[in-house]
Structure 1
């Protein structure tokens, strides 16, 4: 990750330091269970760290909308923890589906504890998230977060159905990343406005910010799979290639390639016939066709749309921090 992105997120996290500390306490507390394996696996996830970007967005959105917490007013904290549980549950399941060995630079939970434990603890975290939704007591909050949970699952299934299929359109690819990533970003932001009791126009502005930020974030992640070293990426470089995932770098390289290049892409992606040297050739073709820049240029458009969505709110340090977070998202791969 580029220094600019780290600095933007660090500044946002520092600004919301008390809220983030309360959120982290809530996460640890709600991960507890008398079933020993659950807190053990949870401790592994906590130790792996992570940016906590999604709960941070909930906290920031609530504060941007003027929510004032107190001893008995901690809805934004509980819902931020809820958002993190939804996200972590999907990561656990994703790593099993993808047979991933690394997560955030460390051994993934399924590599350490096995697939069965990862799936079941993921189910536990989903259940915890719905407990937090019902504890909040708002049907509107539940509608937003439960709808996002269903959309995430649909996005993952759609991604599976497009796997190894080079006829996938860019529109279908964008639908996948909207479902698997942007939907939760959007929900995380919108519930912040709901708990603050703000007008629907502000809810929708924050939902737009989250959607566009999530789209930019996933596009950059997909670019990084072909443009980062493993230490930066936090997972094995080339995982998407080996799994035959259809992402924009692949689609752009395939569309811009020669007939010979397309024969190569069909063999390695559609037929899943890969030799050890094929990743290097894929990287060369992606570079030669400027597929990474194509991907990042599209991400930059979404990042700008995210920044623009916040113009409805008065100028403030928090608005600037959220806009900077969107702006720096694309710099992760540059």
Structure 2
């Protein structure tokens, strides 16, 4: 197949592009606006005969129409995705996550193109720390930030286009990703790169907030499985049973990097900070036969620490500007 991958120069998208080109015979066209979160270097070394990068906006209807009409399937990763940024300036999240998704599904509808929409578990809101339940495909939406609310809106657009117009689409909602090529503004790479720079990590509040972590490679394999064998109109939750509270994550990073486990500082908690996410991926595993490769979070985190230690040329150009932005927003 020939795939159009939106946001393919970003963190999760670039991991998917590498996975596809490494494990299949598919070719890939990436459409990416190359905002601060997109990085050409994340796509270095890919085979030119099977890969093309198009720099452009997913809200550009003419460009999107041309690209979608020339591929077999669209995998839609492109999104504004950082909660802190959505609280500071929500408008880009509306432009990309809502209008951009609308533009893509209209093109996919016109051309009869297979469409897979990437979403997040944050659309479901959060769970209490002692709640025995996890999110399932039947969990009602309850977003709590500009980011998660615009992702919820984009999910609902896709669902409506399936029902109203017969769009050949599937949706996946995934838990928190970690791994190579993640921007240093995000929680895990920010802690790792701070330690590498001799700076103490920062932890929001008491660090009790729980996230259900999955390695980006496992997310990629799950999406490819859904694209190949998923049922049109269905939603699949992707998770690897990786629940960890933020404090434990920071302390494990410090331990893996040879630092005392308490060598971090607490900072004021983020507004509207969700307590806990937890994914039940039973449907994906039982109906489509998918299983994660990284079943132990510590092993995956060790792999990630090694990648950032060995690829400082990739992340250092981002680091100073990221920390300056946190400083400006009073979150340093």
TM-score by length of 1: 0.28
Bigger relative contact order (CA 8 A; separation at least 6): 1
Higher helix content, 1 or 2: 1
TM-score by length of 2: 0.29
Tell which structure's C-alpha radius of gyration is larger.
Answer: 1
